[in-house]
Structure 1
């Protein structure tokens, strides 16, 4: 039975408006000093976020800037907030930010980052240190939140920053880096579902070497499945993560930072449930608990170089290589949900996906700050080079039928799996960019331009549905830009206006053999930001209108092909408050109203809302620090109804979930008890897939700093 709730999230909008009005007469913000060297400080765009408000960011531009002066909607979640809310996965980190619908395909025990952002699905829209981590099949980069200093959600067109991307924005994960002050922390975690973990974060200056800093972050965790299915034994998951980094300043002005990471993950492939034709639940697992497995290994090595010339100009370089190898074994429904025969039997098939990914990034950038007349400039220009190689082998075979009234999981013969497709995909993207941030008194402007060339090559060596040894090659290019202006008023308010464009490559050919052109996006956004003089509070409001053109839609002449006449329009409002109401009381609040519409299409989705995109979302988190080291936190997350199919006939009901926390600090000790989904609501997030939501989750963490 579903629990339905329809609160009034607009109350949060009123709260934000009143807060902005009440503090509008505070003094103008002082300028923020942003570290330009490679060793992050408390004020740097990659360093630690004290409390719930980051002062600066480099995700929205090639040059770090004061967050309140960035003319684009941006949310930053730092480690302090992650610990307060008991965050484990990247999805959990961003679920209190506006515009984001996390886990639309259900709770994923693998730790992958799946979400919709401003209405668009972005399963591959995640970035690490500003570099795109391409995904292929079930091979995707998994982000270890304990190894991240912050996670930044940039909403709106971002192609001028990263090239090929969705118009709705990106999520950028920023790695922990060495710093001069000592970091000595060890921790242990316990939780329901047999969860247990050990972690450590160590770092500081190398003894006797002031110009060398190091950091070592590591975490090992195991847990059982929270899924509850009839006749199916739970399968445990475990993963290990280690990330050593070192920073060296061999001569004055030169900084070298080497970042490495390894992650190994093993667990079940998926926990999809069979859904009856009347949309009621069966509590029957679709896959086989013995056959199902997800084995995932990833590694990354990156070198960041910064050199400061005598005249104040900087040269920056990022060189990174990442590797992912994944194997996914699972069983699936042959005819989809609701396909049981009168006796309750459901046909299934087995699959094995073997994915290997190689990502290589190389960014060169020159930047400098100077003045011409009364105009201050922060100029950056450079080249962004990205290469991706994906290797995929897909095998299929028979799987025994399962009876949803009396489920018995019989063994799947792995020898029956037959190679269906094998091939490789190569992507080459090269972008040239220039950006200039201008400041004229209280006025600011952001001018950015980028040109990209993208080449995609596919080589299919084995295929059961097409000729073997098939080569295809596709070349595209696009020019994108951004113009943003803002004005700092005497009362501290900073209104802004932003216009940006994006492009996203699309693979394939139309009926006449012509390659598809990139989808093109454009967005206009207006808003206002306000930050208190102490930098501990930030209020933001944004109104946006974005359009995506050249969208693929069925060819009216031959439905087996597509044409590029589709269009999607998205309009919305986003409000966010990160406010220190007192020294002891903190507030996080967000509200989103996102109206999506397929404005042009030859399919059944014409005039419909985008799938898995709720119109209304809201969240509220309050935490209070009591005397003698105690503290409490309480939060709520509301997601309005959305649709699981393009025709908008399958409705995923609205939900309101409650989270809570209690902590105690004493000297070097810090203990935290976090509970998410306090009411243990048990439901399906996506009726089209049969994706169960995460039930009540309880974690107890104890950290010791020395």
Structure 2
């Protein structure tokens, strides 16, 4: 079914939500509830890590974050984490009009987001040159493993923060991308009542309606320090979206709802239970799987006698009668934090996730399976593809944190054990025939320890150690081109991190660190006979690597901001390549090195001015490896990822006069050149994009307009081979309105 009425459905849903919450508002007014002007989040006690309990997951004030839990699994001031780390808070996401999680980090250092342009069903991230989409995405500190099409999509409206930990993270999280990880921090119940409704529409047009309601049940008990925290607080968040997409034939409807409740029987205990459900029913867009000659350059024949120009950015080569994308996804979990005594805190959390995906599309693969058009071959070759996939994930993490002194050393000691389970059950087909039927399970268990030590006035040392064990079992059913050989492995490895920094009184913190990686994979190498039949498999080796980093962080004492600069050198072994053929063949390259420099700034400069800026320049080289056709790739640059990325955005808010409440902002993003093939034969040109924003806030109302790619620049965001290129997203104008009370 084609949802031509999706836009109307979304807007009607927004109206319905408005009626519901207006009734809730009336009830609250009758009860004497008044509007709160600001959100204040206070934690329990402070520590040597420079943050109070809860600061690392609290709403960010303005655009300048202060603390995180991502870089140390404890509430730690960002300037004291001995690695480069960035935090994008809810206000920054809203102010810049980010509607997806990968859009939220377009202004973050080291991150190449949206390499395949406008993609409504996946959040894509490359960090320091390496793909973080599959093994580098976490939510609330627990991994959301992603293999093939068995992924768990996260709607950004459910998130309080999107955090980027750059570089190796295995000593904390076990498996993870060596270039860095993305950690989504969920919206969770807060200590005050509020309600919000929001509606929006863009120029495609896609419209949406959303709501966010938080309520508390007062304790009613007073102590010497005042009223105790509420015993119960709960939060319900939801969004319904529908309409047309950017490309021809692209449309659909999606909805998500999340509920969370926190029980705090005393000042030292918080137990949060949450659940969410998401349903997506849509048709694919176009703009990817395009040939280099036809997207980056004109589609010309080798002899120059044929010139078909460029493929239109809104072109869609899928069949609307065949095309579908259906996702049904659910998550449920808990998070417990309990102060055992003044020294020790126990933390426990677990989450189960399930996704059921059914997908079908037609995509092009070159000009008659060739790189360029030729006489009698001037149309793109269609390949039908469909899959049915179910993915299961269970994660659990239990730890204790102790804060104590020994002699002149001030410790924050963490040790714990975690467990990850991931299972994918998928059937992939093409031209009406299945070519893959697998049921693969990955288990991983790890024990870890960390000590954050302050000494000598301003010194802080961070020491991590961890041991992981991973078990893989793959069950492949026999098919016409697959004998059904199974795979398994049992691997273990230590990983660690050591960092040293010094905090000066003016907020300056230079640091150095070294960290290693162990990342088990689900992929396999297929062993085929001369007739192309898979007669055996061998599992990919776990990825390993090591990173050296030195930098400086500066948190000024006279305004709220964080400025970071870092140099890094990391090597990754057993690197998995990107897609290189119509059958999605992948291989392990061997070893790739990434080394470079990063700068990032996030600041609430004054009451009026806010600023974010980032710059990344690195050299990405294959040190050893061969292509799928057997060519030596030593010295080549991996395709797709640009080696230079830069961005800056400045925002001004009028706080007095006739324009009081008006905010105006503008930004620029630069994507450097990238390689289109391995070995390197042709390049993708660089691109400079401009974004603008305008907001007006009065009383409890806010209206905003965000325009990305203001001048509608036509550009290719990247290529994974001569026939697999993607257009970057064209101009998008998003108009939003919200009411909060």
TM-score interval for Structure 1 and Structure 2 normalised by the shorter chain: 0.7 to 0.9
State the shift of 1:542 in Å.
Answer: 0.4
Alpha-carbon separation, structure 1, partners of 2:52 and 2:454: 24
Q: Judge conservation of contact 2:219–2:231 (CA < 8 Å) in 1.
A: no
Alpha-carbon separation, structure 2, partners of 1:668 and 1:115: 35
Summarize deviations over 1:596-649 as a string: whole Å, max 9, x none.
111222434321112122121110100000231111010000010111222122
Partner of 2:361: 330
Q: Secondary structure at the match of 2:93?
A: helix
TM-score of the superposition, structure 1-length normalised? 0.86
Partner of 1:298: 329
Alpha-carbon separation, structure 2, partners of 1:276 and 1:532: 47
Q: 1:207 to 1:377 in 2, by over 3 A?
A: closer
Partner of 2:487: 472
Alpha-carbon separation, structure 2, partners of 1:674 and 1:514: 49
Name whichever structure is richer in strand by fraction: 1
State the shift of 1:106 in Å.
Answer: 2.1
Alpha-carbon separation, structure 1, partners of 2:560 and 2:330: 36
2:84 maps to 1:73: yes
2:162 maps to 1:151: yes
State the shift of 1:518 in Å.
Answer: 2.2
TM-score of the superposition, structure 2-length normalised? 0.82
Q: Judge conservation of contact 1:136–1:357 (CA < 8 Å) in 2.
A: no
2:385 maps to 1:361: no
2:271 maps to 1:256: yes
Alpha-carbon separation, structure 1, partners of 2:127 and 2:693: 27
State the shift of 1:323 in Å.
Answer: 0.7
State the shift of 1:421 in Å.
Answer: 2.2
2:622 maps to 1:598: yes
Pairing 1:186-265 to 2, within 5 Å after superposition: 186-206=197-217, 210-227=230-247, 233-251=248-266, 253-265=268-280
Q: Which residue among 563, 582, 598 is the counterpart of 1:539? A: 563
Partner of 1:663: 695
Q: 1:522 to 1:199 in 2, by over 3 A?
A: same
Partner of 1:17: none
State the shift of 1:272 in Å.
Answer: 3.7
Pairing 1:86-235 to 2, within 5 Å after superposition: 86-110=97-121, 112-124=122-134, 125-206=136-217, 210-227=230-247, 233-235=248-250
Q: Judge conservation of contact 1:272–1:689 (CA < 8 Å) in 2.
A: no
Partner of 2:593: 569
Q: Secondary structure at the match of 1:234?
A: coil
Q: Which residue among 411, 422, 439 is the counterpart of 1:377? A: 411
Alpha-carbon separation, structure 2, partners of 1:201 and 1:150: 15
Q: Judge conservation of contact 2:487–2:537 (CA < 8 Å) in 1.
A: no
Alpha-carbon separation, structure 2, partners of 1:690 and 1:287: 16
Partner of 2:737: 702
Summarize deviations over 1:421-442 as a string: whole Å, max 9, x none.
2120100000100011000020
State the shift of 1:515 in Å.
Answer: 5.7
Q: 1:288 to 1:482 in 2, by over 3 A?
A: same
Alpha-carbon separation, structure 2, partners of 1:665 and 1:648: 51
Of the structure 1 ranges 365-374 and 263-272, higher mean CA displacement relative to structure 2 is found in 263-272
**Where does structure 2 lack aligned partners over 5 or more consecutive residues?**
1-40, 221-229, 299-309, 528-535, 578-584
Partner of 1:282: 311
Q: Judge conservation of contact 1:107–1:691 (CA < 8 Å) in 2.
A: no
Alpha-carbon separation, structure 1, partners of 2:103 and 2:445: 33
Pairing 1:471-620 to 2, within 5 Å after superposition: 471-506=486-521, 507-508=523-524, 516-533=540-557, 536-551=560-575, 566-602=590-626, 603-620=631-648
Q: 1:565 to 1:286 in 2, by over 3 A?
A: closer
Q: Secondary structure at the match of 2:694?
A: strand
2:398 maps to 1:342: no
Q: Secondary structure at the match of 1:497?
A: strand
2:469 maps to 1:443: no
Q: Secondary structure at the match of 1:150?
A: strand
Q: Secondary structure at the match of 1:537?
A: strand
Alpha-carbon separation, structure 2, partners of 1:62 and 1:102: 25
Q: 1:562 to 1:170 in 2, by over 3 A?
A: closer
**Where does structure 1 lack aligned partners over 5 or more consecutive residues?**
1-31, 228-232, 398-416, 554-560
Q: Judge conservation of contact 1:604–1:646 (CA < 8 Å) in 2.
A: no
2:497 maps to 1:462: no
State the shift of 1:298 in Å.
Answer: 1.1
Alpha-carbon separation, structure 1, partners of 2:662 and 2:143: 41
Of the structure 1 ranges 321-330 and 308-317, higher mean CA displacement relative to structure 2 is found in 308-317
Summarize deviations over 1:345-385 as a string: whole Å, max 9, x none.
44323111111100001111011100000100001111010
Q: Secondary structure at the match of 1:353?
A: strand
Of the structure 1 ranges 672-681 and 188-197, higher mean CA displacement relative to structure 2 is found in 188-197
Alpha-carbon separation, structure 1, partners of 2:138 and 2:215: 27
State the shift of 1:337 in Å.
Answer: 6.2
Partner of 1:685: 717
Query: Structure 1 residue runs of 4+, over 3 Å off?
Result: 32-37, 40-43, 272-279, 333-341, 506-517, 550-553, 561-565
State the shift of 1:525 in Å.
Answer: 0.4
Pairing 1:640-651 to 2, within 5 Å after superposition: 640-651=672-683
State the shift of 1:534 in Å.
Answer: 5.1
2:282 maps to 1:267: yes
